[in-house]
């Protein structure tokens, strides 16, 4: 993987019915469909939706960092 001089960060919320880890993976997976050069993820907050005393959805608020291509920055 090449090194980038500049990184950008987007904030996303992933959601899963399985786990917080899956919620993070889903957030990164969806971002990867349109964002290139993803280099890392930071989980800022984890929450859950509770119905009838049971957790039914896990949510992870994430910062996803990606390298900015120098060739494209100068356009």
The pTM (predicted TM-score) of the whole model is: 0.84
Task: Give per-residue pLDDT as tens, 4-40.
Answer: 778 899 999 999 999 999 999 999 999 999 999 999 9
Q: How far is residue 36's CA from residue 7's CA, in Å, rounded to a whole number?
A: 11
Does the pLDDT of residue 74 top 70, yes or no? no
**DSSP, res 18:** S
- Stated as kind and residue range, the H or E segment containing 30 is helix 20-32
Question: What pLDDT, on the 0 to 100 scale, is given for residue 71?
Answer: 65
Question: What pLDDT, on the 0 to 100 scale, is given for residue 75?
Answer: 53
58 contact partners, CB below 8 Å, separation of at least 6: 15, 16, 17, 18, 19, 20, 22, 23, 46, 47, 48
CATH architecture of 6-70: 2-Layer Sandwich (3.30)
């Amino acid at each position: 993987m090449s090194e980038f001089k500049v990184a950008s960060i987007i904030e996303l919320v992933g959601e899963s019915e399985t786990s917080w880890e899956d919620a993070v993976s889903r957030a990164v997976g969806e971002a990867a469909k349109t964002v290139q050069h993803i280099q890392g993820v930071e989980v800022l907050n984890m929450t859950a939706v509770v119905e009838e005393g049971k957790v039914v959805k896990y949510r992870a608020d994430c910062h996803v960092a990606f390298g900015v291509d120098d060739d494209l920055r100068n356009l």
